[in-house]
């Protein structure tokens, strides 16, 4: 920090240094920072702002620093506050006065915006890839268990029979939207801010389009004040991550419920379950629980950043330094969760016997009975009402639908005929044969479509 204290008479208090330093966490921007500086040096030379030879020395110096960092040889100094100053200071150590020229036509404000944008771009793409892997795991689990029928739940009560694969593909759709959302983020983060200077632009004849090309950006920022104070791209990532984590928390909840002895629908692979410190008989779905818990963490990071940004006057304020730790944590948490879910999902063992048990009660066919009456001419609401009474009666008698006599049926509607007995779980499934329905042909179609999406992406 000393180098920017020129005008000050006193050293910063030690607790101040600790309070303000960020290299503890922003060191991980080193690759982006160096890439940005290399492009900047090239541009300065190209525009004759510095000498060609100077640029080459600067670039060589920066590359050497990158190597040192990657080899664990670099000494990060919290007194130098952040990754940018650590690198610049080391560059000056390495190549002398020349190093002091690198910051020409640049401010830390546009530099940090650049580094963070480069980082978020990369991590957003990585998030998309990981989500693709999880989609693959879902599809492969669905494929493996294509014939498994389970109750479709509403209110955690069995409602209508569905294919297990159909249930899993609901998550495929959610993740598809997540990917779509992350792609929208990519669009907005893909803006090159360098040249905005501290707030007003720079006084040199720089070439921003060149910088954008060098660094792989498709657009440049259009207002310097906005460019140095905009962190929408951080919020964009954090909102996409929050919604994605919400989806994962739903899957986590189902995995936990399905793993319970009472449901017993699935068993987790030993590699993805944990034992108990005191109860040797336990096999706990810890991964799913942790993921469910970490949902809070990701929401909290979003809320933190929204709060931090609230009511900040333009342009750069130090509050913005709070953007990074939360973002990094959101990224790490999301990536590791998606990764570990891919492993967990693809190794799930489905306990068909247990699932079948839950389908023994055929009250789950009640909607089909109502639809039957409608087809015979009853109005839907009246049909619904008749079947509701039929269920109450059957329950009281302790009988399944299939155990009721036709006379008993007819007490509730004269439209019931013997063909009512032909309604089964299988006919129920097959009948839901519109796009998006659970009929086996539809689910088969969806699985194919899903695989096509995954394949196309690979190419």
List the interface residues with its own copies, window 177-196 (CB under 8 A): 177, 180-181, 184, 187-188, 195-196
Q: Does 226 bind its own copies (CB under 8 A)?
A: yes
Residue whose CB is less far from its own copies, 78 or 385: 385
Closest approach of Cβ 144 to its own copies, in Å? 19
List the interface residues with its own copies, window 233-262 (CB under 8 A): 235-236, 239, 242-243, 246, 249-250, 252-254, 256-257, 259-262
Taking each helix axis from N to C end, the angle separating 108-144 and 30-46, rounded to the nearest 10 degrees, works out to 130
Report yes or no: 436 and 442 within 8 Å, Cβ to Cβ.
yes
Q: Does 280 bind its own copies (CB under 8 A)?
A: yes
Annotated catalytic residue: which of 15, 48, 75, 155?
155
The end-to-end CA distance of the chain, in Å, is 48
Annotated catalytic residue: which of 2, 218, 260, 276?
276
Q: Look at the block and give the residue holding tokens 């979003």.
A: 302
Residue whose CB is less far from its own copies, 184 or 444: 184
Cα distance between residue 343 and residue 170, in whole Å: 19
Closest CA to 271 of 351, 346, 344: 344
Closest approach of Cβ 148 to its own copies, in Å? 15
Q: Does 229 bind its own copies (CB under 8 A)?
A: yes
Q: Does 419 bind its own copies (CB under 8 A)?
A: no
Residue whose CB is less far from its own copies, 94 or 152: 152
Give the one residue of 86, 107, 135, 136 binding its own copies; rule: CB under 8 A: 107
Q: Does 398 bind its own copies (CB under 8 A)?
A: no
Q: What is the 3-state secondary structure (H, E, C) of the chain?
A: CHHHCCCCCCCCCHHHHHHHCCHHHHHHHHHHHHHHHHHHHHHHHHCCCCCHHHHHHHHHHHHHHHHHHHCCCCCCCHHHCCHHHHHHHHHHHHHHHHHHHCCCCCCHHHHHHHHHHHHHHHHHHHHHHHHHHHHHHHHHHHHHCCCCEEEEEECCEEEEEEEHHHHHHHHHHHHHHHHHHHHHHHHHHCEECCCCCCCCCCCCCCCHHHHHHHHCCCEECCCHHHHHHCCHHHHHHHHHHHHHHHHHHHHHHHHHHHHCCCCCCEECCHHHCECCCCCCCCCECHHHHHHHHHHHHHHHHHHHHHHHHCCCCCCCCHHHHHHHHHHHHHHHHHHHHHHHHHHHHHCCEECHHHHHHHCCCHHHHHHHHHHHHHHCCCCHHHHHHHHHHHHHHHHHHCCCHHHCCHHHHHCCCCCCCHHHHHCCHHHHHHHCCCCCCCCHHHHHHHHHHHHHHHHHHHC
Closest approach of Cβ 425 to its own copies, in Å? 11
Q: Does 433 bind its own copies (CB under 8 A)?
A: yes
Region from 67-75, 114-122, 284-292, 403-411 binding its own copies, contact rule CB under 8 A: 284-292
Q: Does 350 bind its own copies (CB under 8 A)?
A: no
Closest approach of Cβ 66 to its own copies, in Å? 21
Q: Does 12 bind its own copies (CB under 8 A)?
A: yes
Residue whose CB is less far from its own copies, 154 or 405: 154
If phi > 0 it is left, if psi is from -120 to 50 it is alpha, else beta; for residue 81 that is left
Region from 33-41, 61-69, 102-110, 126-134 binding its own copies, contact rule CB under 8 A: 102-110
Q: Does 221 bind its own copies (CB under 8 A)?
A: yes
Is 276 labeled as catalytic in the residue annotation?
Answer: yes
Residue whose CB is less far from its own copies, 67 or 448: 448
Give the one residue of 435, 456, 458, 459 binding its own copies; rule: CB under 8 A: 435
Closest approach of Cβ 184 to its own copies, in Å? 4
Q: Does 425 bind its own copies (CB under 8 A)?
A: no
Residue whose CB is less far from its own copies, 67 or 155: 155
Binding string, residues 127-166; x marks residues near its own copies by CB under 8 A: -------------------------xxxxxxxxxxx---x
List the interface residues with its own copies, window 25-84 (CB under 8 A): none
Q: Does 451 bind its own copies (CB under 8 A)?
A: no
Give the one residue of 71, 73, 75, 222 binding its own copies; rule: CB under 8 A: 222
Q: Does 422 bind its own copies (CB under 8 A)?
A: no
- Give the catalytic positions in this structure: 155, 276
């Amino acid at each position: 920090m000393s180098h920017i204290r020129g005008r000050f008479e006193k050293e910063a208090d030690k607790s101040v240094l600790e309070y303000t330093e960020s290299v503890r966490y922003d060191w991980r921007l080193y690759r982006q920072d160096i890439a940005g500086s290399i492009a900047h040096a090239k541009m300065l030379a190209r525009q004759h702002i510095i000498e060609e030879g100077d640029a080459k020395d600067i670039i060589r110096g920066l590359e050497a620093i990158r190597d040192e960092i990657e080899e664990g040889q670099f000494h990060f100094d919290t007194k130098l506050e952040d990754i940018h100053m650590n690198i610049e200071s080391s560059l000056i150590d390495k190549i002398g006065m020349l190093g002091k020229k690198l910051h020409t036509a640049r401010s830390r404000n546009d530099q940090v915006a650049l580094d963070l944008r480069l980082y978020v771009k990369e991590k957003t793409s990585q998030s998309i890839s990981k989500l693709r892997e999880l989609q693959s795991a879902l599809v492969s689990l669905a494929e493996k268990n294509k014939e498994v029928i389970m109750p479709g739940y509403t209110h955690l009560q069995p409602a209508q029979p569905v294919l297990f694969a159909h249930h899993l593909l609901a998550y495929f759709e959610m993740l598809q939207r997540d990917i779509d959302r992350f792609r929208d983020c990519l669009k907005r983060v893909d803006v090159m801010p360098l040249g905005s200077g501290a707030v007003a632009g720079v006084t040199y004849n720089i070439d921003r389009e060149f910088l954008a090309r060098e660094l792989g950006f498709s657009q440049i920022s259009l207002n310097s004040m906005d460019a140095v104070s905009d962190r929408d791209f951080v919020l964009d990532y954090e909102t996409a991550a929050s919604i994605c984590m919400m989806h994962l928390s739903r899957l986590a909840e189902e995995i936990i419920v399905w793993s319970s002895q009472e449901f017993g629908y699935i068993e987790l692979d030993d590699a993805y379950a944990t034992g108990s410190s005191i109860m040797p008989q336990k096999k706990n779905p810890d991964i799913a629980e942790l993921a469910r818990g970490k949902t809070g963490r990701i929401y909290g990071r979003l809320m933190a950043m929204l709060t931090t940004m609230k009511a900040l006057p333009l342009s750069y304020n130090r509050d913005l330094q709070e953007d990074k730790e939360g973002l990094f944590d959101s990224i790490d948490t999301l990536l590791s969760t998606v990764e570990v879910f891919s492993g967990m999902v693809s190794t799930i063992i489905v306990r068909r016997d247990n699932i079948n048990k839950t389908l023994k009660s055929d009250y789950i066919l009640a909607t089909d009975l109502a639809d039957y009456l409608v087809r015979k001419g009853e109005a839907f609401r009246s049909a619904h009402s008749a079947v509701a009474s039929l269920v109450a009666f059957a329950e009281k008698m302790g009988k399944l639908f299939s155990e009721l006599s036709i006379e008993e049926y007819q007490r509730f509607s004269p439209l019931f005929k013997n063909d009512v007995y032909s309604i089964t779980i299988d006919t129920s499934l097959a009948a839901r044969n519109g796009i998006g329905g659970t009929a086996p042909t539809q689910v088969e179609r969806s699985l194919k479509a899903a695989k096509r999406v995954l394949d196309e992406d690979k190419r």
